[in-house]
A and B are shown apart, each in its own frame.
Chain A
Amino acid sequence: MNNIPIRLTINGEAYALEVPPHRTLLQLLKGGLHLDGVKEGCGIGECGACTVIVDDAPVNACLILAAECDGAVIRTPESETQDGVLSDLQQAFIDFGAIQCGFCTAGMLSSARALLDRNRNPSRVEIAEAIAGNYCRCTGYQPIIDAIAAVAAARDHGGYQASPVPPGPYVGGSTKRIDGPAKVTGSAQFVHDMVLPGMLYARIKTSPHPAARILKIDTAKARQMPGVRAVLVGADLPYKLGLYMVDKDILARGQVRHQGEAVAAVAALSIEEAEAAVDAIEVTYEETPAVLDVGTALKDGAPQVHPDLASYSFMKGVFFPAPGRNIAHHQKIRKGDVAKGFAQAARVFEHSFENPPVQHVPMETHAAIAQALPTGEVDIITSAQSPFTVRSLFCHTFKLPLQKVRVRVPYVGGGFGGKAGIHLEPLVYCLSKAAGGRPVKIIATREEEFNTLPSRQGLSSRIKTGVKSDGQITAMEIEYLWDAGAYADYGVNIGRAAAYSGAGPYVVPSCKLDSKVVYTNKIYGTAYRGFGHLEVLWGIERNLDIIARAMNIDPYVLRQRNLLRVGETTITGEEFTTGHGRPEECLRLVAKAIGWEPAARAPAPIKPGSGKVRGKGLAMLHKAPAMPTYTSCSVVIKLEPDASATLLVSGIDYGQGTYTTLAQIAADALTIPIDRVHVPWEADTQFTPYDWQTVASRFTVMGGNAVIEAARDCLAQIRKTAAAALGVDPEALVIERGRVFVPGKADAGLDFKQLAVGYTFPNGNSIGGPVIGHGRYIAHGLTNLDPETGQGRPALNWTYGAHGVEVEVDTDTGEVRLLRIASAFDPGKVLNEQQCRTQVIGGVVQGLGSAVAEKFVFANGRLLNNSFVDYKIPTAKDVPGEMQQFFVETPHPEGPHGARGIAEHPMISVPSAIGNAVANATGVEIMTLPLDPEAVYLALKRAAR
């Protein structure tokens, strides 16, 4: 090694080090010095997660060699906290809800600190410019800009003061995130940050071809490389994986089905040695005909992506694959008489729409560590959305008893559905086994996150609608063709869930809907925030606007006329009740907020080069949790001797804030202050109680109900012991503020502290024992859908909402700017107002990405944009000018405090509202997402011909 001596100062400490020439500053800070507040998000200077301050300038630590830093003064986010006191910025980030998953937080703080150091009074534009190089996928940036602006504004007024802690009762207030301090200080440990003794590092070899037979894999050279401890190929791993449809290989066996699919893997002493060995593996392929679109896949005689589909196991009675036809699942919905419905219509419309596959882009890529212990037990630490689902699928694949496998999930840097199910865990387990039981870790590179891990499925929609002259819908015939990609283990359920939601929140007396999940040789799809709903509602909501314009009916009126209302039924026959919520009120609120004018008419198509034009648009949305009928959730509350409460859950808070909400519910139910409730962040199948998965906006509802039941259980135990201690009837006691007493005799009562682990009489006799409450929740009354008609009750609760937007279209370039957006939802009960608002802001900005920027670009099945260079997501400079949030609170009879889920919903229908606004601004109807500058420009150009 040609090491270079360097001297530098990091966070005030002097270091004299020797570094190899290729070592980056990021590798030095994280790997060498364990300053793990610094994160790696892309490795190419695009995402800013690794931003640190070098000689007063914010820099991407991944783009700097450690050798270049000789003599430098470096500050990492760890330097923000002084003597255990949070800095002004750290405190403001917590106060303004500027943190969700926490993975971008450290880099964001560095950019913000450097800005405040050089600019005493930055404007919001300057703040946005300063942090635009830091991607955040959760918050929508606005809360971050607010936090930085507040710190700057307070400078001349005595400095930033923490906002007051909201008092109890906590439900309905804006309790600050309980994970805030861990995330702003960088002490929250993600799988990315973790190193175990003796740990090996894994890298994978991926296929350059979308479809090919693997003729030979030569690993001889790789096995001889320095540091290599295990090399695996598909032939070594005769297993299939999957959630609903067990169709995935761990490493491709014999046949690759998409470009980027893993075909071989190496575990070595270092990442570099593993990479070198992967490069030395030689794979001989024979390309086979690739099926690259759903149309081709469905043709008679099309090459079959899974010739053995008939032999796969899958969830029977719920999914209906069609072997020999590339169909992983066909969901049918049949209601009423479509032919009769169309006959009753004054006009019948037919439109087609397209959604491209896109990526979730969690700031933390997938990461997992596994160790095959000599006892036959398995220890897994993973960046996943459910430890229990990883465990159950893992054990199913390897035929292991559940108690032999322990799965832990620490802090997770965003998931958005992409970390549901099972991903890299089996591979690292097999490598660990092959390497004699040493723990093996894999971190997906950003390129692998795009190319090897799953995406959102593409969708082609065909919607036929019969409408009476007053705008009332009589019938719809809909076909959804999902481009599942190479595997559909999760994707089949998107085809199912988006089908039962697939006509929108409207009364459709007659409906024939076919939703087909189609295999192709592309990157495979999985759950992504909203689970098919953003996709189908792109078509449904654009379709309604096009019909409204054609019939000269105000799109607002057309929607109000057809919205679901009490007494009507959904397309699966579920009756709409008062407990469902008020979609019509959501629509009214957003229309009013954006100044929707009934007379707003789209102009004749506007030519490119006509300068900037503006337009407004509306769109509705709905979604219910998409999950098996039997999913359940449980919670344990332990009272500690000091009467504080430990709340054990296995749902994952990967940024959405559910643990804070559950702590609020628990504190109120137990009548104790919220700072007396502790929620441990590591979910662990060995210690925390069962929960199916954290997906589908179900955790607050199911977990909240379980917390209420667990708290009641605790109080019953407290009451019983207190009654015996006080010699009164348990029913005679009341509980207030952590104290049990007979009404009117509070002084003679007992504190929880005297009861939490048992009560001791003055003579030493003791009764009771430690208070441990448990609570559970399982959805009631759900049914599988009828295989032929799709009729049944699939959904625990529906959340309705609407967006109203105003856009500006630059007809010179095709660029669409979202000037403002008003969003309204009926979450039943706002449990934490700040979290609801920030969830909406973050979801809206993520939806903006789907609307105007994000898409996979393929050439012959090969992904051309597998990095942040050419897959663009919104930055702080792309944030809408004005964002408003409204909440209608119609209690759900089964929700905790009446609440429904609201996590996914903000993203849904953002593209639809923007698409409608673009049509209203330009007179041009665009049917394909995204509305990126080129697409909009060319649409105007074509329309002008």
Chain B
Amino acid sequence: MAAVTDMDSPTPAPAAATGPGRRSSLFLRRPFFTIALLATLAYVGAAVFAPWVAPYDPVQQSIDAMMAPPGPAHWLGTDSYGQDILSRIIYGARYALVIGLCSVLIGAAGGLVIGLAAGLAGGWVEWALMRVIDSILALPSLIMAVAFIAILGQGVDKVVIAVGLSMIGPFARTVRADVMQVRVQLYIEAARLMSIPRWQVIARHVLPNVVFPLAVQVTIRISEAILVSSSLSFLGIGVTPPTPDWGLMIAEGRGFVAFAPWMSAMPGLALALLLIALSILGDGIREEYDPKLRGGS
């Protein structure tokens, strides 16, 4: 951290130095952040404890309760197979969160490698890598994911890889930008003059400066990854039915919107709330910890 603040802002130290005290007041200063954090934790809890929390088996069909509206037996209603929507949403949280997190990690790892390589190598390697990344960035990540799914096939694991690959571009850009800032620093120059091996310079001085902004990016982009994976399922090319996936549930309910609106509305609401919570969470973390933003405020 110190290395970056050297360049970025002349006096960041006092704010950062109060460590624990500052953290304890965070929740009071940012009530929305707190609510969002609690909401996210609720989703995580539902996902982890799904078998105990969900009132029904998510793939238990019931011919007697097809398209039942929300009521005491089924709080959020049932779908066209008589499956309980609340249970499916709770189990669906597992898929949403796991797919979101894993694919973002794939994207971040890929972005880190490419960004580091481009930023450190410089010259034509950097030029070539960044032009490739630029051309990837020219396409929305959903389009990229569709293309990867077409190559890989369908299924949860394939969706994770496809969404992850489609997110490498933005991560690579961020990492490279950070590397470029670091590589001109005096201490890097000094380390080089002291003929410290290159991998050591990278590991000790470059990586720490890059990883933290990357982590902030990860929290922000999880919601995008969840949205893209749900979109894939909605389009019928992601997760396979009868998996309780939100995108799939929205798509399945679409044909019945006129007379059983809860079939699409409930999973849609679940998805929307999680995305809003994650966005607020991501923004909050970024504003708190991103050195660039913090310096400006």
A and B physically associate: no
